[in-house]
Chain A
Amino acid sequence: MLELRSLSKHFGGIVATDAVSLRIAAGETHALIGPNGAGKTTLIGQICGSLACDSGRILFEGEDLTRAEEHLRVRAGLARSYQVTSVFGRFSVLDNLALAVQARSGSSFAFWRPVAAERALFDEALAIAGDIGLAAKKDALAAALSHGEQRALEVGLALATRPKLLLLDEPMAGMGPEESQRMIGLIAGLRSRVTLLLVEHDMDAVFRLADRISVLVNGRLIASDAPERGDEVAA
């Protein structure tokens, strides 16, 4: 589904991504792990198009997206969530999700008809709010949510674009154990619906969710294999 061919990225003299080649098959849940500063978020940015690539190619379902603009990659079926929560703080939960649904349902160069009258957008937004466990908070402003709820909304926004491949950048970042368990449950529920690339530090989560694991160190991919599920894992 996704193929990276010796992708590279430099920031000045620092090599953030060093000739990374990776294949992600449709339907798999692929975890990307590595120490802080290994270049995981940079790689996500390159795949999604918020960062330009210095060299290499990105193929998504056979299509070359290396130079495609970010919004076009979203249309093609690539979506991401952010490590640092990035939602629309002064929008309600429902408005956040409806905005994401709106992005892929018809033109938004529509200047006259009130968006609030579009039942379909909000029905679907409400369904997604249910999926991510925020139905009860649908009218709360995103900025007023707890950290864990904002993380769920973060994933919900990406989900609402109806991606084929969802890139989750540390969805459990900053969460307590209870919130983490809820997030793991949410992601486990997505596995059957969408291909996942999961960047995560929580090894418990990685081993419970991933079909394959790749290890990134100093911008280089040093290993890529299936986890041995029975093993005890040192965190």
Chain B
Amino acid sequence: MIRAALLFAALAAFPLAMQATDNLFYASLASRILVYAIAATSLNLVLGYGGMLSFGHAAFFGTGAYVVGILAAEGVRSAWVAWPAAVAVAAAAALLIGAVSLRTRGVYFIMITLAFAQMLYYVFVSLKTYGGDDGLSLPGRSTVGGGVDLADDVTWYYVVLALFAAVLYLMRRLVHSRFGRVIAAIRENDARAEALGYPVYRYKLACFVISGAVAGLAGALIANQGSYASPSLLHWIQSGTLMIMVILGGVGRLWGGFIGAATLLVLEHLISDYPIAWLQGLAPSYQEHGGLAVGIVLLAVVLYAPRGLAALFDRDARAP
């Protein structure tokens, strides 16, 4: 609790420090990290807490982004309309995809969620009116009224931070609620949960829909982040990236999504912006292949901290 408060205080102070030192680029990187943290946290709910290996989470992330993009292209730019719409459409997509996918399990579930996400990817690629495979440029960030301008990167950062905090709090309430207990029990032993009288399928589906809705919110934010909705947001590589974030940070850990997103994106930034002379001599184009370094870090985490980076900060060995 205290550490969470300290971390939020540090996150709240961050853009002020950057402003003072004229490093506003980092506020933008930080808000990007927080958006991905929301997306990864949503995946962690199904993957970590619910034990459902969804390999198609980019579908909900990208759908959220496109809802904001398409609404903006049609002249609806209010965040109060576009963001809830993104959440609702992503939730509906999760309901449909989950209703079919959750009838399977194990490797079939992984494959069927992947297949659905790729189908949605091609749907958006083929939407020529909305940019097709070039993606969809937004006229600017959503509007909220009341004299608040989201185009300002520091304001934007605080909006994203507030939403991240809300998502994390919601997640914390959820995993400790009755529903959260049942979800954890289903992850542990779904046959026994059913034999105790729980309709397992319905609980899994509810969990999947909540997760999809939160991913949709993250999608709405990522479209705003760069004023751009790209079909690559729905690509399976995006699903993989979110999964890597969760595994890096900690599967089934409240802060896992944030830690994973921060680690991955900071690492990518360091590799592409800070050339290392001797490494360049050895491999001139290494900076274009940041994935290699990410792979090495992932390997190290899986081998030496298999419960994720979040577990390294643990005093209590028991998972929640």
A residues with a Cβ closer than 8 A to B are 48, 50, 69-71, 74-75, 79-80, 82, 86-91, 95, 99-100, 102-104, 107-116, 118, 157-158, 160-161
Contacts and interface: CB of A to CB of B under 8 A. Distances in A.
Contacts of A161: 196-197
Nearest to A114: B176
B189 A100 contact: no
A88 B190 CA distance: 9
Contacts of B177: 110-115
A113 B189 contact: no
25 contacts: A50-B195, A69-B199, A70-B194, A70-B195, A71-B194, A79-B195, A87-B189, A88-B192, A90-B319, A95-B181, A99-B185, A99-B193, A102-B181, A108-B181, A108-B182, A110-B177, A110-B178, A111-B173, A111-B177, A112-B173, A113-B177, A115-B176, A157-B192, A160-B196, A161-B196
Interface string B182-214: 101100110111111111100100100010000
B179 A111 contact: yes
A109 B179 contact: yes
B188 A102 contact: no
A74 B192 contact: no
Given A71-B199, A86-B189, A99-B185, 7 more contacts: A48-B195, A90-B319, A99-B181, A99-B196, A100-B196, A112-B173, A118-B178
Nearest to B206: A109
Given A71-B199, A88-B185, A90-B319, A50 B178 contact: no
Given A109-B179, A115-B178, A80 B199 contact: no
**Considering residues A102, A104, A111, A112, which has the most beta carbons from chain B within 10 angstroms of its beta carbon?**
A111
B185 to A, nearest CB: 5
A86 B192 contact: yes
A103 B197 contact: yes
A114 B320 CA distance: 13
Contacts of B203: 108
Contacts of A75: 197
A234 B277 CA distance: 84
B256 interface: no
A161 B193 CA distance: 11
B192 A108 contact: no
Given A111-B174, A112-B173, A115-B178, A50 B192 contact: no
Contacts of B184: 91
Nearest to B172: A114
B257 interface: no
A87 B189 CA distance: 7
Contacts of A95: 181
A119 B210 CA distance: 28
A158 to B, nearest CB: 8
Central interface residue in A48, A89, A115, A160, by most chain B CB within 10 Å: A115
Contacts of B191: 50, 86
B87 to A, nearest CB: 16
- Shortest beta-carbon contacts, A-B, top 6: A74-B197, A103-B197, A110-B178, A108-B178, A103-B196, A114-B176
A110 B184 CA distance: 14
B24 to A, nearest CB: 38
B196 A89 contact: no
A74 B197 CA distance: 5
Contacts of B173: 111-112, 114
A109 B210 CA distance: 12
Contacts of A89: 188-189
A17 to B, nearest CB: 19
